[in-house]
Structure 1
Amino acid sequence: MSAPLLKVNDLQVSFKMFAGEVQAVRGISFTLNKGEVLAIVGESGSGKSVTAQTIMRLTPSPPSYIKAGSILFDGKTEVTKLTEKQMQKVRGEEMGMIFQDPMTSLNPTMTIGKQIAEGLRKHQGLGKSEALERAVELLKLVGMSNPEERIGQYPHELSGGMRQRVMIAISLACNPRLLIADEPTTALDVTIQAQIMDLLRDIQQKTGTAIILITHDLGVVAEMAQRVLVMYAGKVVEQGELNDIFYHSRHPYTWGLLSSTPRLDSDRSGELYSIPGTPPDLYAPPKGCAFAARCPHAMKICRERDPEHFSISDTHSSACWLNHPDAPKVTPPMAAGGVSHV
């Protein structure tokens, strides 16, 4: 079996602030295989975007710093050890990123043609006219209308959906083997969201690019991902294949996320379920399980000791004391179709 394209091991990322240290990512580990789509889900503040930006080495330092851990790309490149100059060669050429807000991610002073061509000229050595020709081809690939005209326009002349297509074109310009999509549909309306996700799915199937998809939308996860990581308070609390998470989840936090997802086939009326409480303060993370204060099944040990990752199957693990052989039996909610309020 070939080595994974990306291997993250015990990654810890903190921010040194005036009030103390914010432990944004607290020891996460995962792998991404070539051509795979991996979804990372969780509430705001769970560490999803910091993880993605750290893989790309885009978190500002200071105040951020990699406290510990390893990010191994293609079995040979240790990303945490690269200088900024070395990392500039990796970004764009080997890894691409789609940021969550297309309204502010593009340079307002440059035409979109120049912004797409910039990476092509830097990484592939294309001349100005060749790069602009390739920019037109990329805009056609992402479904942009009138691409020959668009390359001469500025970001403010385009709609939100068009800007996001430009972002995708920039990220794909040099045929990267890894594409990180950080909530790529956040600022878009529902119809455009669907178009963008269809576009990403189509591109992934055509190019075989591996994708890390960061999202709040479990519907998008169900359509695109092969594997899912559930993050909470800077840690991975559950991970597994798509069916493991949606139909056989073994962590109360995952149950809460699934319960709070609206379903067309549900006969439930009234307000949507929401997980009670708020995430912990990462200036001073709790001693035991970070979810214990919000968990209806919390036991004494949950508040005293952080749970290990219990192996549910070869593809599925969950960091919850309920999976310990001596734990009281709790009947998990039904599969995603009928998740009860936990």
Structure 2
Amino acid sequence: MSKNILEVRDLKVSFRTYAGEVQAVRGVSFDLKKGEVLAIVGESGCGKSVTAQTIMRLIPTPPSMIKSGSIKFDGKTEITKISNREMEKIRGSEMGMIFQDPMTSLNPTMTIGKQIAEGLIKHQGLSASEARKRAVEILKMVGISNPEGRITQYPHEFSGGMRQRVMIAIALACNPKLLIADEPTTALDVTIQAQIIELMKKLSEQTEASIIVITHDLGVVAEMAQRVIVMYAGKVVEQGTVDELFYDSKHPYTWGLLRSVPRLDQDKDGELVPIPGTPPDLFAPPKGCAFAARCPYAMKACLEVDPEHTKLSETHSAACWLLHPDAPKVERPVEAGGAAR
């Protein structure tokens, strides 16, 4: 049996529009080990959420289409090949998802208890009374006080942080093997963010669920994840452990992300360094490296040929021509994750 709960290989996903085909995901490959927390980071529009929702088969077809690739779940199920009915059995029971905005994801006409019980009744065959009892237990597990009274209330009666806890409760109700959290701390204040992160870490340890966290917040990455994938223009440009990405990153785009985050060990008057320019148009992606137009180290080869991934260690790889033996030596900026090496 594979040690990986998820194996994604050369995944390509496009959207048909009146203006043409948007190549949202362009050959993404990665593994997720059982019990591991993996973060996917990158700018808006880089393909993070599309990749996650494709794994869950939540993107409507049409306009989306999986052009090629494989998504193997739990070593045996090929997600791209199974029917919608078969996917419905997996989604909610073996895979759970925490969406970005709990207020629009929760049903405003149903009580919290019914929304948690729904999956338990469908996937685990519990009776209404058994599901209600289990719903109370789950709400207590995610840190909601007075769960017996809360299950009869509606989403608008909960604060933003509590609604996010409810979303986590719904996602975890059937003890899934895989949990995908899409920007789980967006729009929450820093105190509630810290509580949600701590809660997800604790639940991951208790349930042994594998987690994919999609985020812009590198603080969330440092706090939660063991491994990180950096995406740009629909592709993985670098991946490695948290320490490798923060302290020994090799791709200029990763450096740019790290330089744009405030740090406690820098002068308080120091300015953040944004990445200049804008991401490429995915209606017609460039033939070379997609980051070349924004990269201060770009060479002629970068504009002509898309680089392959260079393996730097068993866990670390990056797709950049600067890693070629004949490329000029470039030092990582000091502010990109600590002292340059």
- In 1, the alpha carbon distance for the partners of 2:183 and 2:284 equals 27
Distance, in Å, in 1 between the alignment partners of 2:52 and 2:159 is 26
Task: Report the Cα distance in structure 2 between the residues aligned to 1:24 and 1:208, rounded to whole angstroms.
Answer: 31
TM-score, normalised via structure 2 length:
0.97
Which amino acid in the other structure matches residue 298 of structure 2? A
Q: Could you say which residue in structure 1 is the equivalent of 2:39?
A: 39
Structure 1 unaligned regions, length at least 5: none
SS in 2 for 1:115: helix
- Residue aligning to 1:162: 162
Which amino acid letter does the alignment assign opposite residue 250 of structure 1? K
Q: Is the 8 A contact 1:258 1:339 kept in 2?
A: no
The residue aligned with 2:308 is 308
- Of all paired residues, the percent bearing the same amino acid is 75
Residue aligning to 1:17: 17
The separation in 2 between residues aligned to 1:268 and 1:162, in whole angstroms, is: 34
Matched, 1:327 2:327: yes
Give the aligned partner of residue 98 of structure 1: 98
The reply on whether 1:112 has 2:100 as its aligned counterpart is: no
After the TM superposition, list the runs of 4 or more consecutive aligned residues in structure 1 that deviate by more than 2 angstroms: 333-340
* Residue aligning to 1:278: 278
| SS at structure 1 position matched to 2:166 | helix
Distance 1:3 1:127 in 2: 34
Q: Please state how far the C-alpha of 1:101 moved relative to its aligned partner.
A: 0.6
1:289 Cα deviation from its structure 2 partner = 0.4
Shift of residue 270, structure 1, vs aligned partner: 4.2
1:10-54, Cα deviation, whole Å (9 max, x unpaired): 000000001000000000000000000111000000000000000
Q: Distance in 2 between matches of 1:124 and 1:337?
A: 46
1:121/1:131 contact within 8 Å kept: yes
Q: Show the counterpart of 1:238.
A: 238
Note the C-alpha offset of 1:242. 1.2
Spell out, residue by residue over 1:102-133, the C-alpha distance to the aligned partner (whole angstroms, 9 max, x if none).
Answer: 11100111111000000000000000011011
Contact 2:39 2:229 in 1 (8 A): yes
AA in 2 matched with 1:9: R
Kindly provide the amino acid, as one letter, of the partner of residue 297 in structure 1: Y
- Once the two structures are TM-superposed, the CA of residue 2 in structure 1 deviates from its matched residue by 3.9
After TM superposition, list the pairs within 5 Å mapping 1:288-307 onto structure 2: 288-307=288-307
Which amino acid is the alignment partner of residue 133 of structure 2?
A: E
**DSSP-derived class of the 1:243 partner:** helix
C-alpha separation between the residues in 1 aligned to 2:251 and 2:335? 13
Secondary structure of the 1:108 match is coil
Kindly indicate whether the alpha-carbon contact (under 8 Å) linking 2:45 and 2:233 is maintained by their aligned counterparts in 1. Answer: yes
Task: Normalising by structure 1, report the TM-score.
Answer: 0.97
Compute the displacement of 1:60 (Å).
1.3
- Asked if 1:201 is matched to 2:204, the reply is no
Query: d(CA) in 1 for partners of 2:235 and 2:32?
Result: 17
CA distance in 2, matches of 1:274, 1:333: 13
Counterpart of 2:166, as a letter, is V
Whether the aligned pair in 2 keeps the contact of 1:138 and 1:169 (CA below 8 Å) is yes
Give CA deviations for 1:300-329 in whole Å, capped at 9, x if unaligned: 010000010011112111000000011011
Cα shift readout 1:53-100 (whole Å, capped 9, x = no counterpart): 000000111100101000000111000011111000000111000001
Verify the 8 A CA contact 2:13 2:25 in the aligned structure 1. yes
Higher mean C-alpha deviation, range 2-11 or range 165-174: 2-11
8 Å contact from structure 1 (residues 37, 212) kept in 2? yes
Q: Matched residues in 1 for 2:292 and 2:268: separation?
A: 27
Amino acid at match of 1:213: V
Could you tell me whether the CA contact under 8 Å between 1:120 and 1:131 is conserved in 2? yes
Superposition RMSD on alpha carbons, in Å?
1.2
